[in-house]
C-alpha cells in the first residue's frame, strides 16, 4: 500500500503537571502535542504489514497509528496488574487459538454442574453470561424502532388525532413519529426484498423455459426467443451471472434475508429468553453460552482480538493489551440490543471485576435509557471505564440520536467514565476520518483506528473489518494498558489521559457523509485528537510518578 512520502506530525512534548495531595482526585493535565517535526521516515508497508497499521507510529512509519511498539518500549521492565476486560457483544469464539489463553474464568463457579455456585443468580457463568438466552445459538431480533412501532400500532391503528381521547393525544403523536421512523428505516429493506423476489421469479421462469432444474451461463447465452417478457427475464438472470451471482449464491443470500427479523412487526425475539423485557427487576434469565453462532459471533470475536489477542505467540496478531483477560458478555442480537440487556450486562461485568468494558454497539431509539444511565453510574461508582463505539451512520451525534450515551440532553454528561470513539483510516490526509464514522464536537471524545482492522474471527481465522466497532476496542486496549501499569489511576483519569494525550490532527478533512464538505478535524470530537498509546502511558506515568 502506498503511504504518504512526507508528513508534518504532532508529537509528544513536555507536559506541565499540577501537584495535588490525592491521586484519585488529581486533575489530568492537557498534553502539549503541538511540536511539529520537519521530516519523517517514509515506509512502504507490505500487505502483511498493513494488517497491523493501527499499531504503527506516525513519525517512524508515516502511518497514523497508535504508536504501540513505542509504548511497549516505554513500559518495558515495569510491573503490571492483570486487568479484566468485559466485552459486551454478539458472542465470542472463546475457543479461538488467539483468545483461548486469555480468558477470564469465574473462580467461584464450577463448570457444568448446573449449580449457581457463587449465588450470583447466573448458573455456570464460567466465562461470562449470555443475556440473549435460550438454547439456540442464533439471536434474531427486531430493530428498536420496529418494536416501538409494533407496540403502538396495536393501540392506535385506524385511529386519528381527532378520534383519540385527550389523554391519548401525546401517545398518538409518538405513534405517528414511530410510524414515520419505521417506514424510513425499513424502506430500503423491503425494496430489496421485492427485488429479490423478482429475481427469484425470473430464475423460475427461465428454468421452466429451458426445462432445467439448474441454469448454467452457457444455457443463458444460447437462448433464442421472441417473447419480450422472457427476454427481459433472461437478461436479468444473465446480469446476475455476469456479476458472479450464481443461482446457489443468490438462493443463499435470499434465504438469509428471509431470516432477517429486523422489520418483522409480529416477531417475538424474546420468546426463547423467557423474561419480561419491560421489567428491569426480572434479572434471572439467559445462560452461560457466550459463543453464539458462527455467523453472529464474528463481530464479538473480532472486537475481542483487537484488545486481547494473545501477544507473542507467533500466530495471528498481537492484541493491544498484554496482561489482561477476556470476560464475554453476550447481549447484542442480530438486530437492536435491548436497554435492559445492556444495563444488566454492564452490571454483570462490573460485579465480576471488569475494570474496562468495551461496547461496540448502538441504535437510534431507546425506550428505557434511564436503565442504562443507572448502569453507567453504577460502573462509575465502582471505578469502571466504559468505552463505546460512536456509530457508523456518518452523522453528527450532537444533533442526531445515538444510544447508549452518557447524556440525556446531548450537552451535560451524567457521569465521567464513558469514552466515545470515532473511527479513522490509515490515510494521513483529508481522508483520515472514516467515511462512515459518526462525529460530534460534544459527544465523540476521540478517534481511533477503525478502517481495515485485522483481527480474529471464528474457527481460528482472521479478517479485516471496518467500523467504529473496531475503533472502540483499539481505545479500550490502550485504556487496559494504562489500568494495568498504573492501577492507581481512576476510570475518569484514564478517560482524560487518553483524550489529552492523543495526537493532534491539524488539517482540513472530509466531513463523513458531507458530500465533499471539508472541516477541521479538531471539530469532529471533544479532544480533536486520535488515540496514541505511547503518549497516554507517558502522561499516566507523569501523573503517578511525576512531581
Q: Provide the pLDDT for residue 83.
A: 98
Considering only CA atoms, which of 401, 361, 491, 484 is closest in space to residue 72? 484
Q: Which of 469, 472, 484, 490 is catalytic?
A: 469
Kindly state the cell numbers that stand for 106: 469465574
Told to judge if 136 belongs to the known catalytic residues of this protein, a careful annotator would answer no
* Pair type for strands 354-359 and 385-389: parallel
pLDDT, tens digit, 9 for 90 and up, residues 3-56:
222 233 333 332 323 333 344 445 666 665 544 443 445 567 888 889 999 999
pLDDT, tens digit, 9 for 90 and up, residues 107-148:
999 999 999 999 999 999 999 999 998 666 678 999 999 999
Q: Return the axis-axis angle of helices 369-381 and 491-501, rounded to nearest 10°.
A: 100
- The pTM (predicted TM-score) of the whole model is 0.90
What residues have CB less than 8 Å from 418, skipping those under 6 apart?
376, 385, 386, 387, 388, 405, 406, 495
The fold of 78-140+286-531 is: Rossmann fold (3.40.50)
Q: Return the axis-axis angle of helices 144-156 and 169-210, rounded to nearest 10°.
A: 110
Q: Provide the pLDDT for residue 430.
A: 96
Q: How far apart are CA 113 and CA 118, in angstroms?
A: 12
Residues in a beta bridge with 329: 88, 129
Told to judge if 227 belongs to the known catalytic residues of this protein, a careful annotator would answer no
Residues in a beta bridge with 225: none
Beta carbons of 328 and 92 less than 8 angstroms apart: yes
Kindly state the cell numbers that stand for 333: 442480537
Torsion angle defined by CA atoms of residues 191, 197, 198 and 203, in that order, rounded to the nearest 10 degrees: 150
Beta carbons of 529 and 502 less than 8 angstroms apart: yes
Q: Provide the pLDDT for residue 1.
A: 31
Concatenated DSSP letters for 123-187? TT-SSEEETT-SS-S--B---HHHHHHHHHHHHHTT--TTTS-GGGHHHHHHHHHHHHHHHHHHH
Residues in a beta bridge with 151: none
Q: Provide the pLDDT for residue 136.
A: 60
Scan for cell 459527544, then name that residue.
Answer: 443
Q: Provide the pLDDT for residue 10.
A: 33
Q: Where do the CATH 3.40.50.200 domains begin and end in the chain? A: 78-140+286-531
Q: Provide the pLDDT for residue 26.
A: 54
In tens digits, the chain (547 residues) has pLDDT values of 322 222 333 333 323 233 333 444 456 666 655 444 434 455 678 888 899 999 999 988 889 999 999 999 999 999 999 999 999 999 999 999 999 999 999 999 999 999 999 999 999 999 999 999 866 667 899 999 999 999 999 999 999 999 999 999 999 999 999 999 999 999 999 999 999 999 999 999 999 998 988 888 888 888 888 889 999 999 998 888 888 888 888 899 999 899 999 999 999 999 989 899 999 999 989 999 998 776 668 999 999 999 999 999 999 999 999 999 999 999 999 999 999 999 999 999 999 999 999 999 999 999 999 999 999 999 999 999 999 999 999 999 999 999 999 998 999 999 999 999 999 999 999 999 999 999 999 999 999 999 999 999 999 999 999 999 999 999 999 999 999 999 999 999 999 999 999 999 999 999 999 999 999 999 999 999 999 999 999 999 999 998 5
Q: Which of 57, 61, 89, 98 is catalytic?
A: 89
Q: Provide the pLDDT for residue 31.
A: 60
Q: Provide the pLDDT for residue 219.
A: 83
Told to judge if 299 belongs to the known catalytic residues of this protein, a careful annotator would answer yes
Kindly state the cell numbers that stand for 37: 517535526
Q: Which of 93, 275, 298, 299 is catalytic?
A: 299
Q: Provide the pLDDT for residue 295.
A: 64
Q: How far apart are CA 292 and CA 91, in angstroms?
A: 5
Amino acid at each position: 500500500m502506498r503511504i504518504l512520502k512526507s508528513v508534518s506530525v504532532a508529537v509528544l512534548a513536555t507536559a506541565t503537571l499540577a501537584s495535588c495531595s490525592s491521586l484519585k482526585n488529581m486533575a489530568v493535565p492537557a498534553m502539549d502535542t503541538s511540536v511539529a517535526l520537519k521530516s519523517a521516515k517514509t515506509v512502504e508497508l507490505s500487505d502483511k504489514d498493513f494488517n497491523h497499521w493501527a499499531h504503527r507510529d506516525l513519525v517512524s512509519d508515516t502511518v497514523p497509528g497508535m504508536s504501540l511498539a513505542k509504548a511497549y518500549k516505554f513500559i518495558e521492565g515495569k510491573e503490571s496488574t492483570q486487568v479484566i476486560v468485559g466485552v459486551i457483544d454478539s458472542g465470542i469464539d472463546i475457543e479461538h487459538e488467539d483468545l483461548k489463553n486469555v480468558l477470564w474464568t469465574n473462580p467461584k463457579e464450577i463448570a457444568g454442574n448446573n449449580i449457581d455456585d457463587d449465588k450470583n443468580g447466573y448458573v455456570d457463568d464460567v466465562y461470562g453470561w449470555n443475556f440473549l438466552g435460550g438454547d439456540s445459538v442464533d439471536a434474531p431480533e427486531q430493530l428498536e424502532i420496529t418494536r416501538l412501532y409494533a407496540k403502538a400500532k396495536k393501540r392506535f391503528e385506524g385511529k386519528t388525532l381527532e378520534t383519540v381521547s385527550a389523554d391519548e393525544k401525546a401517545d398518538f403523536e409518538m405513534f405517528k413519529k414511530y410510524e414515520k421512523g419505521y417506514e424510513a428505516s425499513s424502506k430500503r429493506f423491503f425494496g430489496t426484498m421485492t427485488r429479490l423476489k423478482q429475481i427469484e421469479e425470473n430464475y423460475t421462469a427461465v428454468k421452466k423455459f429451458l426445462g432445467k432444474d439448474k441454469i448454467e451461463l452457457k444455457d443463458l447465452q444460447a437462448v433464442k426467443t421472441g417473447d419480450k417478457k422472457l427476454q427481459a427475464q433472461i437478461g436479468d438472470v444473465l446480469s446476475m451471472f455476469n456479476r458472479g451471482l450464481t443461482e446457489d449464491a443468490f438462493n443463499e443470500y435470499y434465504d438469509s434475508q428471509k431470516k432477517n427479523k429486523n422489520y418483522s412487526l409480529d416477531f417475538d425475539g424474546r420468546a426463547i429468553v423467557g423474561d419480561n423485557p419491560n421489567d428491569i427487576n426480572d434479572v434471572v434469565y439467559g445462560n452461560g453460552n457466550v459463543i453464539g453462532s458462527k455467523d453472529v459471533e464474528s463481530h464479538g470475536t473480532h472486537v475481542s482480538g483487537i484488545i486481547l489477542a494473545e501477544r507473542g505467540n507467533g500466530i495471528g496478531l498481537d492484541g493491544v493489551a498484554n496482561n489482561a483477560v477476556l470476560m464475554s458478555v453476550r447481549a447484542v442480537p442480530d438486530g437492536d440490543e435491548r436497554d435492559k440487556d445492556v444495563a444488566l450486562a454492564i452490571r454483570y461485568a462490573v460485579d465480576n471485576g471488569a475494570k474496562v468494558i468495551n461496547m461496540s454497539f448502538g441504535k437510534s431509539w431507546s425506550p428505557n435509557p434511564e436503565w442504562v444511565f443507572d448502569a453507567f453510574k453504577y460502573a462509575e461508582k465502582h471505578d469502571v471505564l466504559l468505552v463505546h463505539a460512536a456509530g457508523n451512520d456518518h452523522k453528527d451525534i450532537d444533533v442526531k440520536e445515538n444510544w447508549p450515551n452518557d447524556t440525556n440532553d446531548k450537552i451535560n454528561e451524567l457521569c465521567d467514565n464513558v469514552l466515545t470513539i470515532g473511527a479513522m483510516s490509515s490515510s494521513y490526509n483529508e481522508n483520515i476520518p472514516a467515511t462512515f464514522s459518526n462525529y460530534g464536537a460534544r459527544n465523540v471524545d476521540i478517534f481511533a483506528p477503525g478502517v481495515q482492522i485485522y483481527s480474529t474471527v471464528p474457527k481460528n481465522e482472521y479478517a479485516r473489518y471496518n467500523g467504529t466497532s473496531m475503533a472502540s476496542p483499539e481505545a479500550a486496549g490502550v485504556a487496559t494498558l494504562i489500568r494495568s501499569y498504573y492501577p492507581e489511576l481512576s476510570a475518569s483519569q484514564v478517560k482524560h489521559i487518553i483524550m489529552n494525550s492523543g495526537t493532534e490532527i491539524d488539517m482540513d478533512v472530509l466531513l463523513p457523509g458531507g458530500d465533499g464538505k471539508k472541516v477541521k478535524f479538531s471539530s469532529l470530537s471533544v479532544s480533536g485528537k486520535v488515540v496514541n498509546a505511547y503518549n497516554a502511558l507517558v502522561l499516566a506515568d507523569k501523573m503517578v510518578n511525576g512531581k
